[in-house]
Structure 1
């Protein structure tokens, strides 16, 4: 049933992509474009509600409402122009949501609940950006790539779209579970080579036009350096003790975001005036400041966890054995860090509290056929050692426990480090 549902979701996305890609070539779609988008969103909402995916249903309804209210308010603007603007603005603010959920989740449990929807927001932002780009490509550049790239800001827009396309295509859980590390390294290298070729082509176009803005060179250099730093074949092995190919690829969202900022600032904000410029710069500062605060918080948490690991015997009293019920998880905290406890077949099991996938709350999960199953996306961890099913590289920290005097003790061994990724409780920094 899960595969069938997965297949249906793929069909839904295929229909959305077909609609968006066909839009610039159809006069009928262009004429009725705003209401076509509304109809597509409502159809997606109905389907999401049918498969009991309430979050996606509300997301689709919200998008439909944005287009309906906007179209009624800006009724003097022609349909294609309204649609390209509405799609661009919605995608722009949605991308900020995607980037802010991560750092804000370190400070708010409510925001952490949105991590499981972050990829949905990202894919939706990509589809809206693709719709915007297709209409612009047709109306303003007559489907001429050279003419489009002669405008400097449009290249940074297409750069962001290219990266977001790669991230959207690889956002499925299947890719994270089954694609080996070496394949991710090849994908990362291939995307990087394509980007370098694009830079070479576009700088040639700008030189022929006699105008290569000086600020583009430091921008390109910054993107390339960042790319090499996070690449599995670059400096990442020296920066991270544990590598995950999917995550190494998806941190390129920061290159996409920086490209979007340059695209919007030089393409539209300067034309609109100071208020638009300050809005773009203010949102950029918000994202940068939020990530800085999140990194500082993570750094402090790593230090606190090291103190726990360096204790003389590492045993911590966490709860009474009577507090645990068979089949039901319970969250306990060791020096502020969440641990998921389960009473299973007479044994007390202790896992790190958050799933390695998207930080799902494992204490809310269920043990099924010898595996703790995350309630968010179904990722599994063995009750023997915290590892995923055979053939998969999933893993969360798994701790030793004992019961004395009716009390449950959890041992965080001295110097113990996570062998998995994304746990947030060790030096892997994944």
Structure 2
């Protein structure tokens, strides 16, 4: 299998991975590792209380009822503005690939993104003890700034940077100041017209788009188009496989798959979960009447360590990798509690051709095994809601109403995930070793010359 991948898949994947736009996206997301790390730990610490009640009691006893405020503030300063950071970083990296200094490009891209964001939001105010709801100007919902809008941010950042860089190469658009003007001022004025034109173009395009779509903003339209094929989904194995694929295909290019599809999956899973809870409360023993994809189905059986079942990858790295012990040390603690941004952006998995194959295929395999096991009655259906940070195996046990079959299923899936990731870990080690030998030989040749 590894020979087949190296011979037929790897060459095309390397070419794909060297695309300047994909490199800009990947490098920008990797550069945000400190933001994603601290945000992940903040989410972890704040949500542990739901999974471990004694921990919550201890934190309340030490810090009071507001002990989650610090974690909430850190989340707000990191994940709540994830798209803003991505727009700036991608624009900078892409501009640098064109030998531009990148400073003006990232500011122009950010401005181009903001001109496409709604300026009005619904606000509820209490006046004389009566709540009044209406549109208010100057408010931006964080759904247009966090990872939900990441696809829009990436597209706008790439397009705005391309337009700006190309306009900046048009000679008659460049303003040249006398030699006595300070260099910083001269550089700013040199790209004044290209920056103004770029922002104007995106502002005009956004206005025309809203006119053509009856007031719909670009981000809302893109989300609607992406999730529209899933609107008629049902509790079936084909839908489960399709959902697992799309979630991880989005993640593969740096988009938060669960958030993008959340408008469809959350109502569906909630409805099916409530149906199962009602059946269990009524004492119904016929498991065929229960829904399979109910409530926290994915959290309990598929997202073992987070999207992609990356806890299996961390264990495989721990067993077979000598060069990635630090990423295991950083990723294992949050990974146990289903938080895997440090692995997704730190390894990285996002836009990494080698890791994308097991990252997408593993959850699909786990989805199939879990669905079939529940459908034929080997594993009890999900009948309770659990926090998404509940550790693997424990989550399967609790989600099925404290049935041992749920824990066994989650454990089997964890072993399957390790088995799938292990060959790719070994292959990556061979590739790294080969690169080191080639680099060493090249350095020795240069020294001899």
TM beyond 0.5: no
**Structure ranking higher on relative contact order (CA contacts 8 Å, 6+ apart):** 2
Higher strand share: 1
Name the one with the larger helix percent: 2
